[in-house]
Amino acid sequence: MYGSGQKRAHVNRKRADELEIMVQAGRISALALHTALEALVPGVSTLAVDELTEEVIREAGASPSFKGFQEYPASTCISINDAVVHGIPSDDVVVREGDIVGVDVGAFFQGFHGDNAATKAIGEVSDEARRLLRVTEEALHKGIGEAVVGQRLKAVSSAIQGHAQAHGYSVVRDLLGHGIGRQMHEPPQVPNYYEAGAFADYELTLRPGMTLAIEPMINVGGPQVVRDRDGWTTRTADGSLSAHFEHTIVVTKEGPRILTPRD
């Protein structure tokens, strides 16, 4: 987290030729996510879903962004119910009716990354779970809608937080969105909440060619999270449900463009 007195890091704006490659990386990432979500059915192991997703990425001529990143062991993060993010796929973890399951996946193609995530209801889930998924995806699009030329980054953060809290939910503060491009994580940091002075990047003016991974993580209960002994899986501290949605976008003169479309 940036302190209030820390200067913002330089934000790399992408050229047209670089964006052409990022479009392809985004499409592969979106295809991989679609594949994973389709494969999530009662009885399937998260490892089986991960292996299928990696196959799709490699067949498209890309490589998994996550595998080996800071020694992460898999191609996807698959997080169930109270797991917010970074759930490690395992043959011992089986998806069940009534779960909500978040998948986060990225693809590295010709020197650039695409990154996206979504949370799926498995069969019949509670009304609260369905509402959480709807509100979290809406919050993502509220944030994307503020990513326009001349706007300050804090407008993105405020839009996400405002929508979540208007529905009685909390926003995870310990995990953030980020810039993306040649590196998986580039400046700026993209918080999903606004707290004056907490981040220098709040005051960043958005310009054409800036590429961001916007990813609200929203909890039914409080915003606090804890990490499992595996060093990765991050859960709500109070055991409440959590949802996660993400798109990679580029700021353009015509408005924000989603590079990881799921349609």
As a three-state string, the secondary structure of 81-150 is CCEEECCCCCCCCECCCCCEEEEEEEEEECCEEEEEEEEEECCCCCHHHHHHHHHHHHHHHHHHHCCCCC
Backbone dihedral angles phi then psi of residue 102, each to the nearest 5 degrees? -95, 135
Please check the confidence at residue 127 and state whether its pLDDT lies above 80: yes
210 confidence band (pLDDT: 50, 70, 90): very high
- Residue 7 belongs to a domain: no
Region 176-200: mean pLDDT is 97
Q: Is residue 129 part of a domain?
A: yes
Kindly state the tokens that stand for 131.
């509402």
Work out the mean pLDDT of the chain and round it to a whole number.
96
* Within-domain flag for 35: yes
Q: Is residue 241 part of a domain?
A: yes
**Average pLDDT, integer, range 90-112:** 98
Residue 4 lies in a domain: no
Quick check: 213 and 115 in contact, CB under 8 A? yes
Q: What is the mean pLDDT of residues 37-47?
A: 98
CATH code of the domain covering residue 181: 3.90.230.10
The pLDDT value recorded for residue 6 is 54
Segment 43-85, tens digit of pLDDT: 999 999 999 999 999 999 999 999 999 999 999 999 999 999 9
The residues near 112 (Cβ < 8 Å, ≥ 6 apart) are: 18, 21, 22, 25, 181, 182
Question: Where does the pLDDT of residue 262 fall: very low under 50, low under 70, confident under 90, or very high at 90 and above?
Answer: confident
Q: In the prediction, which pLDDT does 2 show?
A: 29
Structural domain containing residue 238: 16-258
Q: Domain for residue 42, yes or no?
A: yes
Supply 103's token pair: 């998948």
pLDDT at 1: 24
Q: What is the DSSP letter of 73?
A: -
Question: What average pLDDT does range 184-202 have in this prediction?
Answer: 97
Q: Is the pLDDT of residue 198 over 70?
A: yes
Residue 7 has pLDDT above 80, yes or no: no
| Residue 11 domain-assigned (yes or no) | no
Number of domains in the chain: 1
pLDDT of residue 8 exceeding 80, the answer is no
pTM of the model as a whole: 0.95
Which amino acid would we find at residue 2?
A: Y
Q: How high is the pLDDT of residue 263? A: 74
Task: Give the pLDDT score at 3.
Answer: 32
Residue 3 falls within a domain, yes or no? no
* Over residues 76-101, mean pLDDT: 98
Q: Taking 50 as the threshold, does the pLDDT of residue 160 lie above it? A: yes
